Amino acid sequence: MEDKIIRTEYSEIMQKSYIDYAMSVIISRALPDVRDGLKPVQRRTLYDMYELGIRYDRPYRKSARIVGDTMGKYHPHGDSSIYGALVVLAQDFKMGIPLVDGHGNFGSIEGDGAAAMRYTEARLARITQEMFLGDLDKDVVNFVPNFDETEKEPEVLPVRVPNILVNGSEGIAVGMATNIPTHNLGEVIDAVIAMIRDSHISDEKLFSMIPGPDFPTGGIIVNKSELPEIYRTGTGKIRIRGKVELEKGKGGKDRLVITEIPYTMLGANIGKFLNDVAALAETKKTTDITDISNQSSKEGIRIVIELKKGADAAYIENLLYKKTRLEDTFGVNMLAVANGRPETMSLRSVLEYHIDFQFELATRKYTSLLAKEKNKSEIQEGLIRAVDVIDLIIEILRGSKNQKMAKDCLISGVTDGINFKTAKSKKMAAALRFTPAQADAILDMRLHRLIGLELEALMEEHEKTLRNIDTYTDILNNYDSMANVIISDLKACKKQFAVPRRTRIIDADQTVFEEKKAEDIPAVFLMDRFGYARLVDEGTYEKNRDAAEAECRYVIPCMTNSRFCIFTEEGRMHILKASDVPLGKFRDKGTPVDNMCNFDSRSEVIAQVFLYEQVTGSELLFVTKKGMVKRVPGSEFDITRKTMAATKLSEGDTLAGIYIMDDSQWIVLQTRNGYLLRFPMEEIPVYKKGTLGVRGMKLSGTDQVETVHFLQNSSQEAEVGGRKVVLGRLKIGKRDSAGSKVRS
């Protein structure tokens, strides 16, 4: 067999392959379908439980059995994704209405994971069985082949409530993500009913029925006025707070008790919140918090923060909102798959898609039921007719040689080969015209149906069938009748499964919090050559002045509310607050600068440290090891960010030094190879921080600038190659010259 070589552009193959992969993730993995609000893995898991008969009124089954069966039949993407979906479907703190009834350890609100699937058990929740899977046997949705075409699975579940709103959804696809909040089942049903009755209902009326999300963890939404715009566009940010109550403790001490948390604080974020509150006390952001304890249980959340006597509880509450995740934002992005394509939807469009889906389900359901009732009516009519001529039918059966002969006689009046007692019977038999279905029913009829009461029951059943046919025909031919049926189902669902709203919705101002400034007292900043920093008070420093200057690389008098500018050889500047530096004893080791600002000792080397006010109120001189120089106004470094690029450097260049300018008129650059260049300070231009500067000195080979001298007087000396050099006697040169070499 000859090889077939196809020549094509590589980029085209990559592009097509990536697009195919992206669409597969978007449609078949990460995003929910707007019709049933489920991702494929959730849909397949619920359908598999339905197929296995794990109903709400039957015993639980091992989760491992459900996971294995789902993976083998419908979802060949690993057991972890299936079990993860099953666990979430059973968690009442994540789902607006849980769809799975879990038995065993299915995790906790504090982030504890579920037990292994071999230990837990599950079954369908009642609402899932009745409102999600109840009509699957009525040909209401299309079934498609599974991954290996050995089974059939539903394209979508016939969900009768807007599950995409009730339970929300979150998922990350390729280039897009969805994050839909949960809503209250009763409110959503009311909105659907109102929209069925009036498709042109105003947005304002819809928003009055669905005022906002309803999170299973409760909490308080505090930007009510912004919700209508979020629902119109399908995107936006919801601000949500935890619920805080003030309780009186012993000895006149108050305590703040958090009884509801923001939905975004679920899981490990509760532990992070506790750590953040403890950090507020440790870093002296507040001295009024004496203890924090998590007393949460199965009954609900209870986080207790003990306060000092006389503490301002309102101030502490605002501090928690501002500095922790007790107030957080939920980013709404109502993205779902509609008609096979991802679409960002408004609240109205979600409801419209749902209502269209309900009418489609109802049409298919009642078309199927009508066909069944018509078939039933046909058979019932045949049986009723058969009872009237039962003696003739018995005669036909006794006179026939086989079943086919009898059936042909019943259907077409064919009497050939049948022995009749009388010619009259043969004539009557020739006039019979039962349908094939009626003939089969007559041949299968049992003798007890000839009893009088049975005949009456058959007549009553036929009348009921005729009424059903009239009802189903009316539903299919009349919009209002179909709408009433859908509304009736929704009302029954609301009555049985709706729960009271858990999340309050208000309009509250943005948290205004003015941090109480700590007392500004004199101190001294000490940092050793390893980057460990600490503050000591003035008295401690004076007692240990000599040791401090001998052991520390930087000794800077400051105030406890001062800020420092840390310049690195790589050309960056980091801001360090003195309030973040621990105030301690002289012999304390201190804290690494890495832990207190954005400086990273693994990739950066500290070049210089200045007081922030000293930098912004002066002019700085930048000198690089490749001989580039420039002066920069200190106002360039007056920033609010914690980190910035302090200067631009050419490739492979680093800073030799950063200096605060003084009134010196001369500058001397000294290189590693012993070259010195003296030139006027005025030859160095003033540039912005984002420039390279100009060349201050020509360097040969691998030589580099090592030291910079500001010439204060003619007798000033420097050590070069082991000998003293009087800088004032150096020949005056020009910037961008090579300088002169000092002979050792």
Give the separation between CA 154 and CA 734, rounded to whole angstroms: 84
Give the separation between CA 237 and CA 252, rounded to whole angstroms: 40
Residues identified as active-site: 119
Q: What H or E segment, with its residue span, contains residue 658?
A: strand 655-660
Percent helix, strand and coil across the chain, each to the nearest 5: 40, 25, 35
C-beta neighbour count of 66 within 10 angstroms: 25
Give the separation between CA 349 and CA 664, rounded to whole angstroms: 73
Measured in whole angstroms, the distance separating CA 388 from the mean position of its chain's CA atoms is 70
On whether the CB atoms of residues 506 and 221 are closer than 8 A, the answer is yes
Give the separation between CA 423 and CA 441, rounded to whole angstroms: 26
Residue 726 in tokens: 């009087």
The residue type at 553: R
Residue position matching structure tokens 């991954």: 147
- Listing DSSP states for 608-656 in one string gives EEEEHHHHHTSEEEEEETTSEEEEEEGGGG--SSSEEE-----TT--EE
Beta bridge partners of 214: none
Q: Which of 336, 356, 370 is nearest to 165 (CA)?
A: 336
On whether the CB atoms of residues 268 and 224 are closer than 8 A, the answer is no
SS3 sequence of 484-550: HHHHHHHHHHHHHHCCCCCCEECECCCCCCCCCCCCCCEEEEEECCCCEEEEEEHHHHHHCHHHHHH
Per DSSP, 234 falls in state S
